[in-house]
Homo-oligomer: A and B are copies of this chain.
Amino acid sequence: MIQSAVVQQLRQGGVRVTPQRLAIAEAVLNSTDHPTVQQIHERVQQHFPSMTLATVYSTLGVLSKSGLIQELPFAKQSRYESNVSPHVNLVCIGCGNIADADDSSDIIIRLRDQVSNETRFQVMWQRVDFHGWCRTCQAAIEPAAAAGQ
């Protein structure tokens, strides 16, 4: 069961394991939509109606420091994701959705090594965001241009 791995990784970091923390960890780890704090709060509140935002904020900080999840700060608010291995985030300008790009890991690792060698900067983790138009939003715009053709 997935819980045991989470519990183990938290305990290794000297972090106490509570039902709330497990629920928040699961909410993020089971998500692929890079949820906001509010969204995580709403989802977890279904199981813990009395949980407050303060607990969610505190726990997300703990989970980030433990390396289980990653915070993605944006201009308006942060979002969170469970994919801590090198990858590209595809951030849609139109709908705001964020998705992970498949198979983007190798080239990022190569870039990491190259930069590391040339600059002697010791990379611990990275964030790679590509901003643009997702397929759905392209389709919603392009027909107008195509019609004008």
Instruction: List the interface of chain A (C-beta within 8 A of B).
Output: 71, 73-75, 78, 88, 90, 92-93, 101-104, 107-108, 110-112, 114-115, 118-135, 138
Q: How far is the CA of A78 from the CA of B78 in the complex (A)?
A: 12
> How far is the CB of A84 from the nearest CB of chain B, in Å?
12
> How far is the CB of A140 from the nearest CB of chain B, in Å?
12
Q: Which of B102, B126, B129 contacts A130 (CB 8 A)?
A: B126
Q: Decide: A127 near B126, CB < 8 A? Known: A73-B74, A90-B119, A111-B111.
A: no
> How far is the CB of A143 from the nearest CB of chain B, in Å?
15
B residues near A120, Cβ cutoff 8 Å:
135, 138
